[in-house]
Amino acid sequence: MAEPLFTLKNLTKTYKSGEVETPVLRGIDLSVEKGEFIALMGPSGSGKSTLMHILGFLDRITDGVYLFNGKDVQKMTDDELAGERSREVGFVFQAFNLLAKSTVIENVMLPMMYAKIPPAEREERAMEALRSVGIDHRAHYLSNTISGGEKQRVAIARALVNKPSVIFADEPTGNLDTKSGEAVLGIFQDLHEKFGTTIVMVTHELEAAEFADRIVRIRDGKIESDSRDHVKRTGGYYK
């Protein structure tokens, strides 16, 4: 049987400030298989974004077990974590995080520079990623001249360009109108269904979560429910 992509056992995270301790995650048990599309839901302060940051190697756990592809993440050095993050993970954020005065294709090529991809490959792979999200016709536009929905497509292309094992999307539709948001969610669904991309999406919007195959609800740092029993949406419609 194939190794799960993520395995979490009794995972905890506590932040410390002087003598004050603030527990955020309180014993998370979770297994995510390769190719799943999961929505993490919960109210503000529930711990869902902290969990995503831990899964994406942006933060460390306080206690428990975190295995990525069977490897114990706690035993990795900071440099090893940075390497895993560069090779294995793509991020899509609510605020897009594009370089305003760089072109669309320059923004998409940026992760390849950090990953030391040869320059000759960068433009070809960037255009391939832009085509996969339907925004290649904007390749040479400055990123501050395109719409919000187009910016999020560029952000998805940037997340895809290093061919990561998983894409983390943190409130990816939060700054978009309904039509643009549904288009972006449709792109995630296509990546998942056509290419088997693993997607972990943090959202507080049920309409967005319903595009995923599995909805994990977090409250007060614990998993409240973990279900595939929902009516799934696709392209703005239910199926």
DSSP per-residue letters across 51-67? HHHHHTTSS--SEEEEE
**CA gyration radius, the chain:** 18
pLDDT of residue 235: 66
In the chain, what percentage of residues exceed pLDDT 70? 97
Cα distances from 23 to residues 14, 67, 87, 113, 177, in angstroms, run 4, 21, 30, 37, 35
What percent of the chain has pLDDT above 90? 74
Give the residue-averaged pLDDT of 218-227: 96
- Strand-pair partners of 40: 202, 216
Q: What is the rounded average pLDDT of the residues 139-151?
A: 95
Confidence at residue 225, expressed as pLDDT on a 0 to 100 scale: 95
Say what the pLDDT of residue 216 is.
97
Length of the chain: 239
* 48 belongs to a structural domain: yes
Cα–Cα–Cα angle for 126, 140, 170, rounded to 5 degrees = 55
Q: Where are the alpha helices (DSSP H) in the chain?
A: 48-55, 78-88, 104-114, 119-132, 148-160, 178-195, 206-209
- The confidence score (pLDDT) of residue 135 equals 93
41 in the Ramachandran plot: left (φ > 0), alpha (ψ -120 to 50) or beta?
beta
- Each residue of 44-69: pLDDT tens digit? 889 999 999 999 999 999 999 999 99
Segments forming the whole domain that contains residue 124:
29-52+89-227
Q: Report yes or no on 237 lying in a domain.
A: no
Q: Identify the pLDDT of residue 1.
A: 61
Is 139 within 8 Å of 104 (Cβ atoms)?
yes
**Tell me, what's the pLDDT at 115?**
77
Is residue 78 within 8 Å of 156, Cβ to Cβ? no
Total domains, the chain: 1
Q: pLDDT by residue (tens digit) across 107-137?
A: 999 988 877 888 889 999 999 999 999 999 9
Helix H or strand E encompassing 91: strand 89-93
Residue 236's pLDDT band, with cuts at 50, 70 and 90, is: low
DSSP designation for 145: G
Asked if residue 84 is part of any domain, the answer here is no
d(CA 71, CA 181): 35
Mean pLDDT for the chain overall: 92
- For the whole model, what pTM was predicted? 0.91
Is 22 part of a structural domain of the chain? no
Domain at 149, CATH number: 3.40.50.300
Do 91 and 168 touch, CB atoms closer than 8 A?
yes
Res 237 pLDDT > 80: no
Q: Is residue 60 part of a domain?
A: no
pLDDT band at 73 (very low <50, low <70, confident <90, very high): very high
